Structures are given as C-alpha cells and as structure tokens.
Amino acid sequence: MKIFISRIIPAAGRQLLLDAGHQITEHAEKRPLTQEELLHYCASQDGFLSVGHSGLNETFFRRCSQLRGVALMSAGYDQVDLSAATRWKIPVSNTPGVLSAATADTAFLLLLAVSRDAFHNYQRILTGNWGFFEPTAHLGQELYGKTLGIVGLGKIGADLARKCKAIYDMKIVYHNRSASPYAAELDARYLSFSNLLRNSDVVSVHTDLNPSTENMFNAAAFNQMKKGAIFINTARGKIHDEQALLDALNREQLWGCGLDVTNPEPMSPTNPLLTMPRVCILPHIGSATRETRDKMAVMAAENLLAALAGERMPQVLNPAVYQ
C-alpha cells in the first residue's frame, strides 16, 4: 500500500513501514507543505503519517476519504478535527507517553535557566558586556523549598514534579479536571486554578489545548499569580496570551518566563520577549532527543501498520470509527 509522510522521520520508523512492504513517499523539502499540497499528496494514498501538520479538518477528510488511517507523530492532536475523521470513518492515532521524559527535562531546563537568568547573561558575553563583579547585579533566585504549581498533572507534569521535589524539595500543588493518579506519590495537593496561581512560586503548564484551556493564561490569570513568580509553558502556545504575558513581565508581576511553545509559532525574531531579562525561549524542542524521536516514529509507524492491516490502531484517538 502507499503511504505519505509529511516530513523526513527517523529511520527506525521508516524501516518498519518498508519491511512491511509498503511504498513510501516522504516530503523531503525543508519547508512545510501548503494545504493544497497536502491534499494533493494524500488524495492518492492509503495511509498518512503526519509530522507537525495542521489543517486536518473536514475538507481534508472529505477529499482524502480513501485513507485507511492517519498516524500523528505527536502527542498533541489539537490540529485534527476528530469529529470529521470519525464521520469519514478514518482512524487517527497519536504518540502519547514516549515523549514525557524529554519534555519534562525541557521544562526543568527552562525553569533553571529563568531562575538564574541564564539566556540574558549569555547575551552579555556576546555583546561584550561581561562587566565586573557587582554584588547586587545579575542576581537570580533559588528554588529550594518553594512551591511548584502544575496545571495538568499527567505524566509530563509528574516527571517534572519528581525532579523538582527530589532536587529542590519543592512543594507540589496541582490543578486538573479530575484527581491525578500521581498526586499521592508526589504528596501533591489539589487546588482550584485561582488558588494555585496565588500560592505557586513557579507555575508550569502541561495540559492539552482545547476550548477550555485556550488563552487560559490571560491578563486575569497573570494578575492572580504571586508577584515574582515564574511561568513555564512547554504544552501549547495558545494556552497563554502572549501580549498579556509581556505586560505582566513589564510590570514585574512575574519574575520571568520560560517557553518552549509560543503564540504564534514560529515566533517573530523581533518579538520583545526575546531580548528581555529572565525570559528564556526555545523553538519547540521538547521532544527533540534521538531516543524520543525514534520512539515516536516507531509508535506512529506501528499505529499506521495496524490501520493498513485492517486492525485497531493501538493509540487510536477516535475509537468510535470501530463501532
């Protein structure tokens, strides 16, 4: 059968598909596909392995209704209209779990970098502004014994909480739609969203993007945060309002922020956040380790192989297609 892959993927995943005897077409150019290009390629395929592509909407599933399955090489699936996929009887899968440790490491990296103003101090070296020893200048803040607020205490949030608890003896509070299975292990206390904001020295976001979480961190939310707190987002950029975040930083309501996701993506190189002290921004590299990307590619390939064989995708997101 024929498979289209929207970007080059790690060899481990590609080889699984080839060993199964399928014909593969990969989009090898270092640029995103346009929506029309995606439709052109997918309209003649049996399977689609989607790497970071948006626009999987009603039009896509209608015009590519012959697809036997769509495998996302991502944990997030906010770019997919699952209702439309279900209407057209096309199963869709994602890659949950395997990127949790790497993403939690990225959140921890950002937390440390913000607390010590690492990115801004590095820029001082590049601009020849190393200066001289000043006891009251370029000071960071310590994390020992402080309170970490996790919004979305799933696997990624729990991985971050373990690190912060073990290394810095941080107290853990969290806000979820329901009780977290990790709460007892972490001695984590559930708080309402407002109380979490008021009581946390660090707020780290690990929830998915959905209508209830879009712009969850707006001006009102930042104003409720403890003055001098740190904001970390490694989930989805649309969960925070970037102008409201900038305003909160300018007013020194927040100490600083660390972002692996921005709104929009990619961020403009002229965005004022990029030159602010105590702001650390990465270009959405949360899962970017060789080991994790290999696991993601293999999981996506295994999901697609199941769909092409007429079997249930192991990580299917719309199980109603099998009813």
| Domain limits, the chain | 2-96+289-322, 100-281
pLDDT at 30 over 90: no
37: left (phi over 0), alpha (psi -120 to 50) or beta: alpha
Burial environment of residue 19 by CB neighbours within 10 A (0 to 12, 13 to 18, 19 or more) = exposed
Q: What is the pLDDT of residue 217?
A: 98
Query: 100-281 maps to which CATH number?
Result: 3.40.50.720
pLDDT at 53: 78
CA 33 – CA 289 distance, rounded (Å):
24
Tell me what percent of the residues of the chain surpass a pLDDT of 90: 96
What pLDDT, on a 0 to 100 scale, did the predictor assign at position 91?
98
Mean pLDDT of 30-40: 92
2-96+289-322 adopts what CATH topology? Rossmann fold (3.40.50)
Residue 179 — pLDDT band, cuts 50, 70, 90?
A: very high
What percent of the chain has pLDDT above 70?
100
- Assess whether pLDDT exceeds 90 at residue 42: yes
d(CA 99, CA 40) in angstroms, rounded, equals 31
Report residue 261 as tokens.
Answer: 């996701």
Q: Please write the tens of the pLDDT for every residue from 111-148.
A: 999 999 999 999 999 999 998 999 999 999 999 999 99
Residues catalogued as catalytic: 236, 265, 284
Average pLDDT over residues 288-296: 97
Q: Is 298 helix (H, G, I), strand (E, B) or coil?
A: helix
Structure tokens belonging to residue 17:
């598909």
pTM: 0.94
Torsion of CA 198, 199, 204, 206, to 10 degrees: -80
Q: SS3 of 72, please?
A: strand
Q: How many residues are listed for the chain in this entry?
A: 323
Task: Specify the pLDDT at position 235.
Answer: 97
pLDDT at 297: 98
Kind of pairing, strands 189-190 and 202-205?
unpaired
Instruction: Output the pLDDT for position 257.
Output: 98
Residue 179, CA distances (Å) to 147, 217, 242 in order: 19, 21, 29
Q: What is the distance between the alpha carbons of residues 282 and 157, in angstroms, rounded to a whole number? A: 18
Contact 179, 190 (CB under 8 A): yes
pLDDT tens string 44-69: 999 999 998 788 999 999 999 999 99
CA dist., res. 287 & res. 171, Å (int):
26
Evaluate if residue 196 carries a pLDDT over 90.
yes
Residue range 213-259, pLDDT digits in tens:
999 999 999 999 999 999 999 999 999 999 999 999 999 999 999 99
Residue whose C-alpha is closest to residue 180's, from 203, 150, 160: 150
Same fold, 2-96+289-322 and 100-281: yes
What is the per-residue pLDDT for 135?
93
pLDDT at 52: 83
Residue environment code for 274-293, b if the CB has 16+ CB neighbours within 10 A, otherwise e: eebebbbbbebebbebeebb
User: Pick from 301, 312, 299: which is nearest to 95 by CA?
Assistant: 299
> Which tokens go with 260?
């692996």
pLDDT at 54: 80
